[in-house]
Amino acid sequence: MSLTATKSYRTLSGLPLDPVYSQPIDAAKPGEFPYTRGIHENMYRGKLWTMRQFAGFATAEDTNARYRYLLAQGQNGLSVAFDLPTLMGYDSDHPASQGEVGKCGVAISSLADMETLFRGIPLGEVTVSMTINSPASILWAMYLAVAEQQGVSWDRVSGTLQNDILKEYIAQKEYIYPPRPSMRLVTDSIEFATKYTPRFNPISISGYHIREAGSTAVQELAFTLRDGIEYVDWALERGLAVDSFAPRLSFFFNAHNDFFEEIAKYRAARKIWARVMRDRYGAKDERSQRLRFHAQTAGCSLTWQQPQNNIVRTAVQAMAAVLGGCQSLHTNSLDEAYALPSEHAVTVALRTQQVIAYETGITAEPDPLGGSYFLEKLTLDVEEAANAYIRRIDEMGGMIPAIERGFPQTEIANASYEFQRSVELGESVIVGVNKFTEKDEKPIELLQIDRTAEQRQVEKLRSVKAKRSASDVEKALANLKKVAEGTENTMPFILDAVRAYATVGEISASLGEVFGSYTETSVL
């Protein structure tokens, strides 16, 4: 017997693979419960996924120019990347912001910045996603205020707010307040969106960052869906009817290298969520049962060695997302292991999606891989493994107790360690890194952030503070603190503060005086 015949094959998550799959598995048609094969009967025959490139750097003026460029190149949705100070609830002039302003995204400190960010971009016609979490309510309030200024009624505004605080405690660590008051803010925004913004998704429950932290595909799926269950529980406790808000819940998944496992992950996600919503919560509206998701190709898979290889990785990952039935997609750029993407690199990334959409024939069939013995069985295996994790977290009392005892964090850390160990031992091959390496690689052209961006941003912020009414700001922040001490929805009061040109940092600090801060307990 040959060595090949006796070798054991597994997915990246460690699921065993049979030598041959030959047992057909019955499945409902696309558009039919449990939506394993897609949430729409005709899928991309009816409408392509939204090509939504994540972008943001330096100042609002610089990013506005990039948005206009991307829209001119055929992109049909915007996605805002905020800089680290904004993500952490700091203004650009805060001492902790020094050196970080505009480096990993756009700096937004006040409504004036948000006005500039979307200058000349009609918010009633373009869908916008915002990757912001702990200060999400504040940035969303600024966005709604800009829509008001443009004369766009809130029932016409469409897009998605990430607003997924649980995955911050699990993976990304950009939290400000303790879990429970943070969940109150998320629930406030879900309740507010249910009443006032019927086309806007108030949360995008994100597995992307869980995967980027080193999880397996199964862990990404399980922890993300269990986070979703937690948000539903909180909204129901608030008194909302499940079918009033569940149709606006959306998800955000990673698209990684294991081609078939990724497709199986998306299929299993729809299947699990449909049954959770119908059987666990009694949702009657089919829209509540349909899991809609955005995908982004895997940033953690990109290498600074031989960066042109990243184009191939991104193309393969994007194909998996499309074959898995995504509703929108971001494709990473070849240079992102070095820096924010250059204009050339982001154009290649967008063209990757366009080639898949218009040249491959994939969109002609709603579910091209449906009925594949291998894929159908792998979908069942991923579903079973994810449900086992969900049951364990249920037994712990939910995701917040699980986070407080460090369960998902430890599982991810262990998975990350095992993968890195396999790379260093050569058991897992990364082309150009631990195999097929080259010496004396030529450098590539990188985007350079204008060194004056931070100074310009701070000066603009000082100007805003000088021109606004200090008494209006003081009154709005006092009212917000009073409401935060009670149980009333905070969103109307955050909107009042934003309209008075209170800053992200001022509003975050005011809430922090009531909610306190949070420090993660280390888990050994």
Dist. CA 270–CA 36, nearest whole Å: 6
Residue 4 is predicted with a pLDDT of: 44
Percent of the chain with pLDDT over 90: 89
Q: What is the pLDDT of residues 142-188, one digit of tens each?
A: 999 999 999 999 999 999 999 999 999 999 999 999 999 999 999 99
pLDDT at 19 over 90: no
Find all residues with CB under 8 Å of 186, minimum gap 6, and list them: 136, 163, 164, 165, 203, 231, 234
Domains, the chain, ordered by start: 37-50+125-424 (3.20.20.240)
**Token pair of 262 as six digits:** 């990724």
pLDDT at 340 over 70: yes
Q: What is the pLDDT of residues 2-12, one digit of tens each?
A: 434 456 778 87
The stretch 22-47 carries a mean pLDDT of 88
Residue 255's pLDDT band, with cuts at 50, 70 and 90, is very high
Q: What is the DSSP string of 411-459?
A: HHHHHHHHHHHHHHTTSS--BTTTBS--SSPPP-------TTHHHHHHH
Q: What is the pLDDT of residues 384-425, one digit of tens each?
A: 999 999 999 999 999 999 999 999 999 999 999 999 999 999
H helix runs in 239-342, sequence order: 242-245, 259-275, 286-289, 309-323
Which of the residue ranges 9-18, 208-217, 222-231 would you say has the lowest mean pLDDT?
9-18
Mean pLDDT of the chain: 95
Residue 28's pLDDT band, with cuts at 50, 70 and 90, is confident
Q: What is the pLDDT of residues 98-109, one digit of tens each?
A: 999 999 999 999
Residue 47 is predicted with a pLDDT of: 94
Radius of gyration of the chain (CA): 23
Residue 352's pLDDT band, with cuts at 50, 70 and 90, is very high
Residue 2 is predicted with a pLDDT of: 40
Residue 405 is predicted with a pLDDT of: 95
The stretch 337-348 carries a mean pLDDT of 93
Return left, alpha or beta for 440; rule: phi > 0 is left, psi -120 to 50 is alpha, else beta.
left
In 3D space, the residue among 226, 287, 379, 253 whose CA is nearest the CA of residue 39 turns out to be 287
What's the one-letter identity of residue 346? V
Residue 521's pLDDT band, with cuts at 50, 70 and 90, is confident
* The CA-based dihedral angle spanning residues 261, 372, 29, 320, taken in that order and rounded to the nearest 10 degrees: 30
Q: What is the pLDDT of residues 438-448, one digit of tens each?
A: 988 888 888 88
Dist. CA 253–CA 262, nearest whole Å: 10
Dist. CA 230–CA 451, nearest whole Å: 43
Residue 524 is predicted with a pLDDT of: 57
Asked if 48 contacts 101 with a C-beta cutoff of 8 angstroms, the reply is: no
